[in-house]
A and B are shown apart, each in its own frame.
Chain A
C-alpha cells in the first residue's frame, strides 16, 4: 500500500507538472488539447480498472462515458437553452436545470446503475463472450443516442452546456482517479481479481468469488468512465454521439495496450505517449510546410500509426511497455 502511494505521488507530480506548464505557457488551443488528453486519461484509467485487472477486453467504455456526459449535460444545461435545443424532450427534461454538483452526482448514479445491470450479465461470461456483449452494449447505447434525437440530438451538437471545469479541475480529478485506480489494484478485491485472471480455477478453489469481484471492478470502472464523460461535457460545452463510438473505443484501447493494461502506470504512460505522439502525427497529416518544403496532405496517417502501434505492441510486447511493473517498481528495491 505504501509503495502504491509512492507510485501515485510520482505519477501525480508528472500530471500536475504537465498541467502547470500548459496553463502558463500554452495557448488556448494547447489548453484544449491537453484537456482532451486528460479526459482520455480518465477513460483509460476507468478502462484499466476492469480490463487490466480482470484481463477481459471491454469495448463498451466509450458508451459509459457517453451516458455520463449526456446525463450531466441534460441536468446542468439551463432551461432557456434546452427550450431551444430540446423542444420535444419527454418527461419534462427541458423544464428543469440543476447545479453542476447535483448534475454530476445524478450522472454518476445513473451510469452506475446501468453498469450494475449490464455487469450482472458480463461477469458471468467467458472472456470472448464478455467482449461481444460489451460490443453489443456499445452498439445499443449508440443507437439510442442516435435514435432519441428528442433527448440526445443524435449526431447534431447538444449545445449550451455551461463550462464548469478548467484545466486545473481536471488535473486534480485525474490525480484523484489515479489514486482510486491504484488503490483498487492493490486492494483485496484487486488482488483477487488479478489472481483469478491468472488462474481462474485456482482462485475459485481458494475461495475467491470471481463474479462478485468482477462486478465490483466493472461498476467502479463504469463510475470512473462516467466521471470522464462529465469532465468532457463540463468543459467543451457541446457534445454529440459520434465521439462515444468505435473510433474513441480504439483510440483509448490503443493507449491502454501500449502502456500496459495490467498497471495504472501503464495506463498513464500509454495515454501520454499516444496523446502527444498522435498530435504530432496529426500535424504532419495536414500537410505542413517544413524547411520550405510544402508537404502533401496525408489524411489517414494517424489511423495507420495508431493501428501500427497496436499491432507492433502485440507482436513484440503484448504485455505493454510496463508489463507487471508499476512506476515505483522501477525505482524502489522489491
Chain B
C-alpha cells in the first residue's frame, strides 16, 4: 500500500514537471503554431544563471530562484523578438525547424562560452528533504513540484479568463487576425505568450536543478522532448490537453519503471515512446484537440 502511494506521488511529481513544460510549449503553439523546441535551452539559461550567481558568491535561495526565473522569462522574450519574429506567420514546419536551429545555437553557445562539461549547482539542495506524509516516505521536492504546478495552473486559468490580455490570447488561438482587428497589438500578445512560457520554464528549471544539481549544455533537451510528447498526447495547442498529457506521461513513465523488469531499465524511453505512438494512432490529433478543419476558413 505504502509502495503504491509512493509511486502515485512519484507519477504526480513527474507529471507536474512535464505539465509545466508542456504548458509552456502549448501556450506558444496555440497562438502562433510554433513548436518551440528551444524551450529546453530556456531551462538551461535558468540553470546557468544559478551558476553565475554561485560564481558571484550569492547563495540566498530567494535571489537564486527569482533570478533564474527572471532570466528564463527574459531569454524567452528575446527569442521571440529576434529568432521567431521573422517566422511568425509561417507554416508550422518552418517554425519547428527554426526552433531546432535556435536550440542548436544556444546549446553550442553554452558549450563555447561556458563549458561542455556539467557544472555543479548546489544552492537548491535545501529544497529536498525526506517527508513523512501519513506514514509514507516522500520527498519534499515532489510535494513542492506538484503543489507549484497546481498553483500555476490555477493562476494561468485566472489570467486567461479574467484579464483582457488573457482573453485576447484565448481568442488569438482561434483567429489571430481578428484580435489585431479589435486593436490589440500582435507584438504584445506574442511577447506575453513567450513571457508566460518562459516563466513556466523557469519554474520547471528550479525543480529540475534541485533534483539533478548540475547544469550542462544539453540539459534541456530531454525534458522538452518529453514535454513535446505530452503536448502531442493531450492535443497540440490545447492547454488542458498539455496538462493532461503531462500527467499521463508521468504516469506511463512511473508505470514503466515499476512494471519493467530491472534489466529492461534501458528500454524505458523506448516503451514510453512506443505507447505514445500507439496513443496517436488511436487519436491522431491527441486526446483533447479540437477538430481540425482542413478546408479553407471562411
Chain A residues close to B by CB (< 8 Å): 55-57, 121, 124-129, 131-133, 135-137, 139-140, 143-144, 146-147, 200-201, 246, 250, 253-254, 257, 298-304, 306-311, 314-316, 318
Contact B107 A143 (CB under 8 A): no
A302: chain B residues at CB < 8 Å are 108
Q: Is B116's CB within 8 Å of the partner chain A?
A: yes
Whether A129 lies near B285 (C-beta < 8 A) is yes
Check B295–A201 contact: CB distance below 8 A: yes
Identify which of A121, A126, A137 gathers the most chain B CB atoms within 10 Å of its CB: A126
Q: Which residue of chain A has its CB nearest to the CB of B114?
A: A300
Q: Which residues of B contact A315 (CB under 8 A)?
A: 86-87, 98
**Contact across chains for B270 and A143 when beta carbons are under 8 A apart:** yes
Q: Give complex CA distance A96, B249 in Å.
A: 42
Residues of A within 8 A of B97 (CB): 57, 253, 257, 310, 314
Interchain Cβ contacts under 8 Å between A and B, 29 examples: A121-B277, A124-B281, A126-B284, A129-B280, A129-B284, A131-B96, A133-B277, A137-B277, A139-B225, A140-B274, A143-B267, A147-B266, A147-B270, A201-B294, A201-B295, A253-B100, A299-B112, A300-B108, A300-B111, A303-B104, A303-B108, A303-B111, A304-B104, A304-B105, A307-B101, A308-B101, A315-B87, A315-B98, A316-B86
Shortest C-beta distance, A67 to chain B (Å), equals: 14
Asked if B94 lies at the interface with its beta carbon under 8 angstroms from chain A, I say yes
Residue of B83, B93, B225 with highest tally of chain A CB at under 10 A: B93
Q: B83 and A311: CB pair below 8 A?
A: yes
* Apart from the given pairs A307-B100, A310-B98, 6 other A-B contacts in the complex at a CB distance below 8 Å: A126-B292, A139-B270, A140-B269, A302-B108, A306-B104, A310-B104
Q: Cβ of B236 < 8 Å from any Cβ of A?
A: yes
Q: Does B189 contact A (CB under 8 A)?
A: no
Residues of A with C-beta under 8 A to B93: 55-57, 127
Q: By the criterion CB–CB under 8 Å, are A128 and B101 in contact?
A: no
Expressed in whole angstroms, the Cα–Cα distance for A156 and B170 within the complex equals 50
> Among the listed A131, A250, A298, which residue makes an inter-chain contact with B104, where contact means beta carbons less than 8 Å apart?
A250
B276 within 8 A of A: yes
A140–B277 Cα distance when bound, in Å, is 10
B291 to chain A, nearest CB (A): 12
Given contacts A128-B232, A129-B285, contact A310 B100 (CB under 8 A): yes
User: How far does the alpha carbon of A55 sit from the alpha carbon of B92 in the complex, in Å?
Assistant: 11
List the A side residues contacting B274 at CB < 8 Å.
136, 140
Most A CB contacts (10 A, CB to CB) among B112, B269, B273 go to B273
Q: Contact: A318 with B266, CB < 8 Å?
A: no
How far is B277's CA from A121's CA once the two chains are assembled, in angstroms? 9
Complex Cα distance A306/B228, Å?
23
Residue of A nearest to B218 (CB): A246
Q: Once the chains bind, are B108 and A314 in contact (CB under 8 Å)?
A: no
Select from chain A the residue with minimum beta-carbon distance to B276: A136
Closest to A311 in B: B101
Which 5 A-B pairs rank lowest in CB-CB distance, beginning with the nearest? A310-B101, A303-B108, A307-B104, A307-B105, A143-B270
- Whether a CB of chain A sits under 8 angstroms from the CB of B102 is yes
Residue B71 lies at the interface, judged by CB distance under 8 Å to chain A: no
Closest to A314 in B: B98
From A136, A144, A308, A318, B105 is in contact (CB under 8 Å) with: A308
Interface centre among A132, A140, A302 (most CB of B within 10 A): A132
Q: Which one of B116, B232, B292 lies within 8 Å of A300 (CB-CB)?
A: B116
Question: Is residue B174 contacting chain A, with contact meaning CB distance below 8 A?
Answer: no
Are A144 and B270 in contact, with the CB atoms below 8 A?
yes
Inter-chain CA distance A246–B103, complex, in Å, is 12
**Contact between A298 and B100 (Cβ–Cβ < 8 Å)?**
no
Asked whether B77 is an interface residue with its Cβ less than 8 Å from the other chain, the reply is no
Interface hits, B219-271 → A, CB 8 Å: 221, 225, 228-229, 232, 236, 264, 266-267, 269-270
Which residues of B62-117 are within 8 A (CB) of A? 83, 86-87, 90, 92-98, 100-112, 116
Chain B residues within an 8 Å CB radius of A126: 284-285, 292
The answer for the CA separation of A121 and B280 in the assembled complex, in Å, is 9
> B35 near A: Cβ within 8 Å?
yes
Known: A143-B267, A147-B266. A307 touches B277 (CB 8 A): no
Residues on the A chain within 8 Å of B277, using CB: 121, 133, 136-137, 140
Residues of A within 8 A of B108 (CB): 300-304, 307
> Quick one: closest B residue to A285, CB to CB?
B112
Note all chain A residues with C-beta closer than 8 A to B94: 314, 318
Distance in Å: Cβ of B216 to nearest Cβ of chain A: 12
- B229 / chain A contacts, CB cutoff of 8 Å: 132, 136
The answer to whether B270 and A57 have CB atoms under 8 Å apart is no
Cα distance, A125 to B285, chains bound together (Å) = 8
CA distance A316 to B267 in the complex (A): 41
* Minimal Cβ-Cβ distance residue in A for B112: A300
